[in-house]
A and B are shown apart, each in its own frame.
Chain A
């Protein structure tokens, strides 16, 4: 090749790899800007307005709603309740999902896809329908109470819904597919030889589980917990229907404030609070992942 040839031929519509990256990211950036960033900013703006009794709003810049949220013990308890209940829901979802995920991971490859499909299939039915299903099962005239009354174990129907228990049952069941899929995604490092090595070194099954299996699957556990926690704290339909107005959570309160009481600035500031909780969950998650590595 001669020296004059070394300049690349001009290609008018060729982009280098470096140039093409922003172009490929652009669509999702636009979607995010329109559907997430802009609404979030308008929520932020709304939270700085002043509510007037009767549902009117005065456009201004005040931290009044934040002050009232931070000083009112009702809202503080609401935040605490939400975080607490959703943490318990996350823990139970993990506890129930882990054996299933492990079972599917170890299953014969020819059954694996069928089993995975069975895990995902509940997602084909809307959460609203599944929640109503739980109302039928857990209600005073529901399946469980009918069994309990019929067997003579109780004389009065046991209250299984319209309380924290009902919300927990419903959310755990609805969120399990997400947890199972996250766990399975994190099981890549789990070489069966490692568990066999542990056994040959004298570890019993349970010891192998908590010394080898669980530490190796911790990244999947962290991911699943983050996902389920975030989904549970932002879920509305299930707590609303299974809580029956007796379980007060952030999502249901935001709904009440914005739709029933028309106090949009307060609803907006509570929404910002949910965002802060998400942020905190993400920080915890990234710390955990870093510590695991």
Chain B
């Protein structure tokens, strides 16, 4: 598709994106004095895609969002929308819908006036504004609260007003800065579904900044994991979770066990005198760190017939009941302790403290990284 378009061929960087790039960050950098907040960040966002910028606080994800919105200026690099550089445009001319972590609703205006603000700036007619505001409030199910002040609303309601205010102007791109972090757990789950639903219905290209891997994994089409201002990995939730590119990504997107070992071939390592098959892309020869997610390990009684999986014998040193899961700590011979999670349920066998057991896990669940991880 792009190849047929001569303009895109002429632009080498635009043709990097195999499908239609709506928003493109190229070698973006933000420097505060000696501190590099964002370093050589290149991300291409497709039209209609919901992409997460995921990372711990201070990784540069919010700075990146602010640069896209025009609230911070990049030290170098390019930000393009539909192939057009937008950094010369001030924030008010960028046509982006922005939802702040604190919602930033205007306290001196009613909900209706808050939502109408962006349309008034665009000099729409009064009738048109009233109609579109009503529709936007309907979209977030707040039509009945139009005359309230923000401080009279609950956190979840304020969040929806902020979303309506950002969406009513029909921005080309929606930017969400940790929009769920101020909500309690139950509401957060609900809003997660709701935001994804609205995003899909409107088909709006969305950048979602979050430090919560569950939000990123469950809501987004793709995730860009950031670490100390750099892009650590970009990919689908499955890519990020199943095939983390770096130890940082592996540890950030969920609990994981770490085993020090040595690589012996491309798909085998040794830990102590045990041999384990691996996912297959390990660095052969030399010290490595193997990582295994706790819920990918199965506990079986000793003496269970061997199957095609990795196996290790151990003793249960702790068993914690957490409702939906049971968390075990299993000490292997040789001083390594692995965390294991199993779903609770009637058909499963529960093990007790001190039980001598055997652990089994698939080769492809054994991720191998360099030893310094």
For residue B107, CB closer than 8 A to chain A, the reply is: yes
One of B29-37, B80-88, B97-105, B187-195 contacting the partner: B97-105
For residue B90, CB closer than 8 A to chain A, the reply is: yes
Are A200's CB and B121's CB within 8 A? no
Chain A residues with CB under 8 Å of B165's CB are 197, 201
For residue A216, CB closer than 8 A to chain B, the reply is: yes
For residue B71, CB closer than 8 A to chain A, the reply is: yes
State A115–B275 Cα separation when bound (angstroms).
68
Are A203's CB and B104's CB within 8 A? no
Q: Mark A268-293, 1 if CB is under 8 A from B, else 0.
A: 00000000000000000000000010
CB distance from A241 to the nearest CB of B (A): 42
For residue A42, CB closer than 8 A to chain B, the reply is: no
Are B106's CB and A199's CB within 8 A? no
Chain B residues with CB under 8 Å of A215's CB are 108
For residue A189, CB closer than 8 A to chain B, the reply is: yes
State A191–B108 Cα separation when bound (angstroms).
13
For residue A43, CB closer than 8 A to chain B, the reply is: no
For residue B69, CB closer than 8 A to chain A, the reply is: yes
Chain A minimum-CB-distance residue to B162? A197
Are A202's CB and B118's CB within 8 A? yes
A193, A203, A216: the one within 8 Å of B92 (CB): A203
For residue A144, CB closer than 8 A to chain B, the reply is: no
State A158–B100 Cα separation when bound (angstroms).
56
Q: Mark B108-145, 1 if CB is under 8 A from A, else 0.
A: 10000000011001100000000000000000000000
For residue A88, CB closer than 8 A to chain B, the reply is: no
State A207–B106 Cα separation when bound (angstroms).
14
Chain B residues with CB under 8 Å of A216's CB are 106-108
For residue B169, CB closer than 8 A to chain A, the reply is: yes
Chain A minimum-CB-distance residue to B71? A196
For residue B300, CB closer than 8 A to chain A, the reply is: no
- Contact residues of A: prevailing secondary structure: helix
Q: Contact residues of A with B, CB < 8 Å? A: 189, 191, 193-194, 196-204, 207, 211-212, 215-216, 292
Given contacts A200-B97, A202-B92, contact A191 B69 (CB under 8 A): no
- Max chain B C-beta neighbours (<10 A), residue from A200, A202, A212, A292: A200
State A252–B220 Cα separation when bound (angstroms).
73
CB distance from B245 to the nearest CB of A (A): 33
Are A197's CB and B92's CB within 8 A? no
Are B100's CB and A193's CB within 8 A? yes
Per the CB 8 Å criterion, the residue count for chain B at the interface is: 26
Chain B residues with CB under 8 Å of A194's CB are 104, 106-107
Given contacts A212-B106, A216-B107, A216-B108, contact A199 B100 (CB under 8 A): no
Are A200's CB and B122's CB within 8 A? no
Chain A residues with CB under 8 Å of B100's CB are 193, 196-197
Are B108's CB and A198's CB within 8 A? no
B98, B106, B107, B108: the one within 8 Å of A200 (CB): B98
State A200–B168 Cα separation when bound (angstroms).
13
State A200–B106 Cα separation when bound (angstroms).
13
Give me 5 A-to-B residue pairs in the complex whose CB atoms sit less than 8 angstroms apart, sorted by A's number.
A198-B106, A200-B98, A200-B166, A202-B92, A212-B106
CB distance from B42 to the nearest CB of A (A): 24
Are A197's CB and B121's CB within 8 A? no
Given contacts A196-B71, A196-B91, A207-B121, contact A201 B169 (CB under 8 A): yes
For residue B226, CB closer than 8 A to chain A, the reply is: no
CB distance from A12 to the nearest CB of B (A): 47
Chain A residues with CB under 8 Å of B118's CB are 201-202
CB distance from A195 to the nearest CB of B (A): 9
Are A200's CB and B117's CB within 8 A? no
For residue B51, CB closer than 8 A to chain A, the reply is: no
CB distance from B65 to the nearest CB of A (A): 11
Chain A residues with CB under 8 Å of B102's CB are 191, 193
Chain B residues with CB under 8 Å of A191's CB are 102, 104
For residue B368, CB closer than 8 A to chain A, the reply is: no
A193, A197, A202, A211: the one within 8 Å of B122 (CB): A202
CB distance from B88 to the nearest CB of A (A): 16
State A248–B135 Cα separation when bound (angstroms).
61
Are B108's CB and A201's CB within 8 A? no
For residue B96, CB closer than 8 A to chain A, the reply is: yes
Chain B minimum-CB-distance residue to A194? B104
Chain A residues with CB under 8 Å of B122's CB are 202
Chain A residues with CB under 8 Å of B93's CB are 202
Chain B residues with CB under 8 Å of A202's CB are 92-93, 95, 118, 121-122, 169
